[in-house]
Structures are given as structure tokens and as C-alpha cells.
Chain A
Amino acid sequence: MKKSVSQHSASVWQADLISVVALVLLVIIVYVLDNAIQPVFSPSSLLLTGIILALIPAAVWIAFFYRRDRLEPEPKGLVFQLFLLGGLLAAGVGIPLVVGVFDVQSWLPRSTATHLLGAILVVGFTQEFLKYAAVRYSVFGSSEFDEPVDGIIYATAAGLGYATVLNITFVLDSGGVDLGVGMIRMTITSLAHASFGGVVGYFLGMEKFSSKPSWWMPAGVALAAVLNGSFFFLRSTITRRAISSAGNVIQPWLGFILAAVLAIIVTALLSRAIGKHIQPAAVEEEI
């Protein structure tokens, strides 16, 4: 059993690293190809290409998180259902609330403090609560949710569904995307939402399998919301600085690097935290 736990922890970290590298390579390849070939699209093919690109990061990450749980794999259908549920909640509740009711674009950028606070309170809390709700009110009570790491897998799938709908909305609103810059932007969104979903999922997993106080889960959602709001505020700020200092040249790579670093740090921390939790349990079972 001890060996299994050790293998599990190692496979988690390896799968994480491989997937992040794969995603980075994919973005670089698309960016280079776009600049080299400079393809010309019709409006409809541009839209279609954009939608396909919006799905790619999610597909890579779903595979990556599925690998995490390979010792006791979750049903693929269930993971996909959580992905769909996350997307539906984004389309049906999250986007209408943030964009329609709160109309954040009209007032968020008015000052630095407003931007940061608004991003956390409105965008962060809405998005992270919906990821939490997607897992908590569906798979949480099921027998398939049978180890702490499952919380990460299911919440990440919900986060990716959320990110995919955001990306598709972005493509539709823009009437298509520039392949290179669009791919970077959509990968940033997916990496970030996967990471924040992972945080919510970790707290869900620990809540189910450990004796945690009642403030544990609210703290988890709050932490994910703060990370969410701070990340998108920071990305917006550094991208804008890049634009200001270099005329009207957009430098989305800074945001991409930020997202990749965030994903690696969050993954490492979650892997370590989950590993710490599993080890004593495994020893107990062995005795």
C-alpha cells in the first residue's frame, strides 16, 4: 500500500509536468505556424477554427487530470459530465451574472483598487462558487468520489468546462480569433480556471475525507476566489503595461507565462498537500 501511495504521488507530479509542457509546446507550435504561414480564413472558417482552439486546452487538461487518478480511475463519463456541468453553469449563470447583472466591464477598470476588489468579490466568488456547486451538488455524495484527489479531478473538470464556455463566448463575440494570440489567451483562461478549480477540489476532497471544521470549505472557496481575482487583475495589469510601453503591440506571452507559473505552483502545492494526507491513511490501512 505504501508503494501504491508513493507511485500515486509520483504519477501525479509527472502527469502534471508532462501536460503543462505539452500545452506550452502546443501554444508555441500554433503561434509559430500562424506567424509563418499567416493563413487566410473566411469568416465562418475563422469562427470554426476559433471554437476548435477553444476546446484544445480543455482536452489536454482533461487527459492530464485523468492521468492523475490512474491508480483508481474515475469514470470518464462522470468527468465529462462535470465538464459539461461547469460549462452549463458558466453559460446559464456565471456569464449572465458577471456580464449582464454586474456589467463589470463598465466599472471594473475605473481604479486599481476597484479593479482588484471587484475582480475578487464579483468575478472570483461567482466563478469559484459555481465550480464548487457543480461538484458539491452532483458527484460529492456518490461512491465514485472515493479519495481526496477525486475532488481535484471533478472540480478541475468543472473549471475547464467553465473556461471552455468563456473561450467560446470570446470567439463568438470577436467573430473569430487570431490563431496565435487567440490560442495564448484561451490557454491562459484554461490553465487558470483549471488551477482554481483544483484549489476548490482539494478543499472538497479534504472536507469529505477528513474531519474539518465548518469554516474549511468557505475558506477554500474564498482562497480560490482571491486567487482568481488577483490572477486576472495581474494579467490585465502586466499586459496593459506591455501595451503602453511598446505602443500598441500586444504581448500576451507575459500573461501566458504567469498562467503557466500559476498552474505549476498550484499543482505542486496540491500534489504535496494530497500526498501528505494520503500517506498517514495508507499507513493506517497497512497496520
Chain B
Amino acid sequence: MAITVSNENAGRSQWLVLWLTVIALLLGLTLKSAAAGQTREVTSGGVTVGLPTKWVVETFGTGILETGTTDPTRVLASWDPLDPGTRYLVSLMPVDAESSLATAAWARNLQRAQALSSYRVLEQTPVTLKGRDGYKVAFAYVDASALDRPPVVYLGTDYYFLEGDQVLVVTLETHHDYEAALVKFRDFAVAVSMGGAR
């Protein structure tokens, strides 16, 4: 087929495509900033976290552990009221000077395994999360405590970070869409900081 029509607007068209893309990306950047801004800072037990504004927050020891007991190390629990199957938990564990993150993880795993017969550690390894050194434990357990629904399998991840004489434990637990939840959780975990009002 011969070229029968020359497009006089070709040059202008190229610039328009370029500008349209730039504008779309700038709008995308604005959207990203707006999405990041939809968080609020919550401080509890000396720990400051950034949470989505609509999330429910329970602070300082009031969080009910998956075992149905109160966790004395817990400083905060939070979840999306529209998706209560996924929750973030923050705990502070005192440790000895010689103790390592792996030791703290071992103690916590033991505590959980005693409370939950179905508790299983899937993976545990030292990690560097966006430049922050820590220790990771991936775990699973079956929650059969609810009477109004069948037992569900919870998958979770603990990140352990050493903070002076304490270990900061940031936990994700979810019974659906674990991979997607983990992606968001990593950003939450790495932003948890010490130094807020106690």
C-alpha cells in the first residue's frame, strides 16, 4: 500500500502524546501523595506507627491475642473494619544484653506454640527490610475459636527489630490474600519507630 496521505499534524501529535503522558504521570504522583497522606500517626507504649485513617486501633495491652488471652507485651493492634481478617500487631519484648533477635523469636514462637496446637513456623531468617536489619518469622495457625464460622487458616509474619534493651515485634496476621497484605505490611513495619510518648 502506497503512502497516500501525509499527516501534517504528525509533529504536533508527537508532542501531544508526550505531554499527555507527562500530565498523566504528574496526576499519578499527586494520587500517590494523596494515598500516602491518608494515614495518621498513633503512639502507644513509646511506639509510633502510621496507620490508614479508617483503621480501628486498640492500644496498650487491650489487644486480645489470637489465643483469647491478653498479651502483656502488646502495645497496639489495628485492623480495617471492612476487612477484620487482616490485622497488624505491635509488641515490645524486653531482652537480655546477650540475647539476639533469633532468641526473642524462639521465645515468642514457643509461647505461641504452647497456646495454639496448630501453630507452625514456616520460615525464619535474618532480613534487611528497606535498610533496617531485623529478623523475620513466617507462621501459620488454625483459628477455630469462632462459633459462627468454620475454622480458618491464618498466615502471618513477624518482623523483629532490636531497639535498645527491647525487641520491637511487628506482626501481620491474615486469613486471606496473604501476599497482597504482606506487600502493604512491609511498608507499615519499616515505618514503625520508637521514641513516642509512653
Contacts and interface: CB of A to CB of B under 8 A. Distances in A.
Interface of A: 72, 102-103, 105-111, 114, 117-118, 120-122, 124-126, 129, 132, 136, 146-148, 207-218, 221-222, 225, 240, 243-244, 247-248, 278, 281
B5 interface: yes
A105 B38 CA distance: 16
A107 B187 CA distance: 9
A281 B177 CA distance: 53
Interface residues of B, number: 38
24 contacts: A72-B1, A102-B29, A105-B183, A106-B184, A107-B32, A107-B36, A108-B35, A109-B180, A109-B184, A118-B28, A122-B25, A125-B28, A126-B25, A148-B1, A207-B13, A213-B9, A214-B13, A214-B16, A218-B20, A221-B17, A221-B20, A243-B176, A248-B153, A248-B155
Interface string B48-69: 0000100000000000000000
Nearest 10 A/B pairs, CB to CB: A214-B9, A122-B28, A121-B28, A125-B24, A147-B1, A107-B35, A129-B21, A214-B12, A217-B13, A218-B16
Contacts of A213: 9
A213 B10 CA distance: 9
Contacts of B31: 114, 117-118, 121-122
A110 B2 CA distance: 51
Contact of B187 (A106, A120, A209): A106
B117 interface: no
A179 to B, nearest CB: 19
Contacts of A244: 176-177
Interface SS of A by simple majority: helix
B24 A114 contact: no
Contacts of B1: 72, 146-148, 209, 278, 281
A209 B6 CA distance: 7
A212 B7 contact: yes
Contacts of A105: 183
Nearest to A117: B31
Given A106-B184, A126-B25, A132-B17, 16 more contacts: A72-B1, A102-B32, A111-B35, A118-B35, A120-B24, A121-B27, A125-B21, A208-B3, A209-B3, A209-B5, A217-B13, A218-B17, A225-B24, A244-B176, A247-B153, A248-B176
Contacts of B18: 129
A146 B2 CA distance: 6
Contacts of B5: 209-211
B111 interface: no
Contacts of B28: 102, 118, 121-122, 125
B30 to A, nearest CB: 9
A208 B9 CA distance: 10
Contacts of B180: 109, 240
Contacts of B20: 125, 218, 221-222
